Amino acid sequence: MSFWDHLEALRGTLFRSVLAVVLLSIVFLCIPEQLFRAVLWPTSQDFVLYRWLGLDFSMQLINIEVSAQFFVHLKVSLLCGAIIAFPYVIYEIWKFIAPALYEHERKAVRKAFGLSSGLFYLGVAVGYFIVLPICLLFFMNYTVSDAVTNSISLSSYISMFVSMVFLIGLLFEFPTVILVLSSLGIVDRKMLRGWRKYAVVVILLLAALITPSDPFSMFVLAVPLYGLFEFSILLCKK
């Protein structure tokens, strides 16, 4: 294929991927009540983690901007559309790169792409059910004075929701990247084992960037991320 043929194939891949996200986002736009029942569940006292821990926790969100609820609805619908469309997007990427690979590379990369969706949804679940509610518990119970009341805006909560859920899902793709690089002979187990001390530093930095940077939330996220690093070592061929 010529350069322009490759470019045309890439255009088709991008178009179909974006179209899938948009169509699913439209579906979520049409069901706001069901959508926000799930999105706002971590703010209510009947959330599964709070019931499991025996905690009485809830938070009331407020809206302080005229157009905030409309744009939050768009943002959350797009986010959920991207989450649901993720396996299809991965499939489109696989179709685009597969012709450029040798047969032995294709088998290894196919396995990595098959693993990617499971890891992504595992990361989304960890962010939604563990990291996000723990961050909410910490910050809603932290006050500098009894004279100060926490009033949380809808936009603020949604920003935390996006970073806790979607970004953690993307971080859980790390083993997939390592599996591909290992299959192509770029990294190996010995190399990754030598990077352990650097990995700890990078993981802590990533946890600080994604969480609100309090030590407890960082630790909650850093533990599964380091577990993924060790899992990546096991995935390497040698």
Q: Profile the chain (238 residues) by mean pLDDT over runs of 10 residues.
A: 76 93 96 94 91 85 89 95 94 84 75 86 93 86 76 89 89 87 81 88 85 74 89 81
pTM: 0.86
Cα atoms found within 13 Å of the Cα of residue 47, Cβ hemisphere only: 25
Residue 61: strand pairing partners: 152
Pick from 59, 35, 86, 72: which is nearest to 159 by CA? 72
| Predicted confidence (pLDDT) per residue in 36-75, tens digit | 999 999 999 889 989 898 888 878 899 888 888 999 999 9
CB 5 within 8 A of CB 62: no
Cα atoms found within 13 Å of the Cα of residue 18, Cβ hemisphere only: 6
CA distance 205 to 211: 10
CA distance 71 to 54: 35
Residue 168's CB is within 10 A of a number of other CB atoms, namely 27
